């Protein structure tokens, strides 16, 4: 990875000449005075000796991202209005989020229980036309065995979030990104956008990718590698030998909103349009719905009571 030339947090605007202080976590922003796109020289984590290698441009424009969000929210009738307002185009924030791309070789030692099915012929008696007859049927049985072994696999471009603001769980939900469409880093590709610098250390990211590789190995061993009709109790010890590491900026649309003094958000993959986020239920909407139902029930009971009184009155007049 190429070295950065400085760790300064300022940038000179080429349009108006203002010297703008960029937050340390940002690589790109816009000038506060004339909205000219600004990109800080360099690009790695603060104090690091690395720069960005790749960029995936935004392929989902703001209006389409808003439409994706609104379609997603259409299936959540109890969603608070705050999140629906946050889904408007003018409320969305496009951010280039840093990701580490890891290549590596995973070597696993595993143990598992494997079940092999076989058919047993069984004789039984039944009644037919008033007589007892003997029949045969096949019954499926499963015999279980303990197995151990090893597995080796190569993993390429495993994505690990380089932002503490985007935990790995959310980052995984945003996948996949088509990394084949990534471009070599150039400041012009991120000019005019907010671009974040990585603040997750390599040691933390390495632990995350090692866990991710172990989980992938467990799934591969259980579902595709171990023979047998049934597999259970798979346990694996995986060592990941990390090879090449690249640093990329990937596009994410962010919709933030407040609910009960909390700042929540929903994310949209800026390349594919995939929507990620938990949608809470609005207690006000639920209370309103309960109140409306209660009013309808009371109105129905009142109508029934009135109808009963009228019936009684008509009966007395007769």
User: Is the distance from CB of 84 to CB of 73 less than 8 angstroms?
Assistant: yes
pLDDT at 13: 67
- Residues whose CB falls within 8 Å of the CB of residue 64, separated by 6 or more in sequence, listed in order: 273
Among residues 52, 111, 115, which one has the least CA distance to residue 245?
52
Tokens of 19: 């010297």
Whole-number mean pLDDT of the chain? 81
Q: Structure pTM? A: 0.73
Among residues 184, 236, 162, 240, which one has the least CA distance to residue 56?
184
Q: Tell me what the mean pLDDT of segment 211-220 comes to.
A: 95
| Beta strand 262-269 pairing with 131-161 | unpaired
Query: What are 97-130's pLDDT values in tens digits?
Result: 999 999 999 999 999 999 999 999 999 888 888 8
Q: Tell me what the mean pLDDT of segment 89-102 comes to.
A: 92
Quote the CA–CA distance of 181 and 82 in Å, as a whole number: 35
List the chain domain ranges: 50-112+149-281, 114-144, 283-318
Among residues 79, 74, 85, which one has the least CA distance to residue 257?
85
Query: What are 129-145's pLDDT values in tens digits?
Result: 888 889 999 999 999 99
Tokens of 202: 């390599």
**What region does 47 belong to: left with phi over 0, alpha with psi -120 to 50, or beta?**
left
Quote the CA–CA distance of 114 and 117 in Å, as a whole number: 10
- Residues whose CB falls within 8 Å of the CB of residue 307, separated by 6 or more in sequence, listed in order: none
Assess whether pLDDT exceeds 90 at residue 162. Answer: yes
Assess whether pLDDT exceeds 90 at residue 289. Answer: no
Quote the CA–CA distance of 195 and 160 in Å, as a whole number: 17
**Residue 73 confidence class, pLDDT cut points 50, 70, 90:** confident
Adjacent-strand bridge partners of 38: 29
């Amino acid at each position: 990875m190429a070295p950065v030339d400085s760790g300064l947090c300022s940038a000179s605007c080429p349009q108006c000449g203002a010297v703008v202080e960029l937050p340390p976590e940002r690589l790109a922003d816009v000038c506060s005075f004339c909205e000219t796109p600004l990109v800080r020289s360099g690009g790695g984590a603060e104090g690091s000796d690395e720069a960005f290698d790749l960029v995936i441009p935004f392929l989902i424009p703001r209006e389409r991202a808003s439409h994706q969000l609104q379609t997603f929210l259409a299936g959540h009738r109890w969603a608070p209005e705050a999140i629906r307002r946050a889904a408007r185009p003018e409320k969305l924030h496009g951010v280039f989020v840093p990701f580490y791309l890891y290549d590596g070789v995973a070597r696993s030692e595993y143990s598992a229980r494997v079940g092999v099915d076989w058919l047993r012929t069984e004789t039984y008696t039944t009644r037919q036309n008033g007589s007892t007859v003997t029949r045969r049927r096949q019954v499926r049985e499963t015999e279980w065995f303990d197995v151990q072994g090893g597995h080796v696999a190569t993993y390429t471009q495993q994505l690990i979030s380089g932002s503490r603001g985007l935990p790995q769980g959310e980052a995984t939900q945003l996948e996949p990104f088509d990394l084949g469409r990534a471009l070599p880093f150039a400041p012009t590709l991120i000019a005019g956008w907010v671009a974040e610098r990585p603040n997750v250390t390599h040691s933390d990211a390495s632990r995350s990718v090692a866990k991710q590789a172990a989980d992938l190995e467990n799934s591969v061993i259980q579902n595709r590698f171990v023979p047998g009709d049934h597999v259970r109790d798979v346990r694996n010890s995986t060592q990941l030998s990390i090879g090449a590491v690249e640093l990329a900026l990937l596009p994410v649309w962010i919709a933030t909103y407040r609910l009960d003094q909390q700042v929540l958000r929903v994310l949209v993959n800026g390349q594919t349009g995939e929507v990620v986020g938990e949608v809470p239920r609005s207690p006000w909407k639920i209370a309103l719905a309960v109140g409306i139902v209660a009013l309808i029930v009371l109105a129905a009971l009142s109508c029934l009571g009135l109808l009963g009184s009228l019936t009684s009155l008509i009966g007395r007049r007769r």
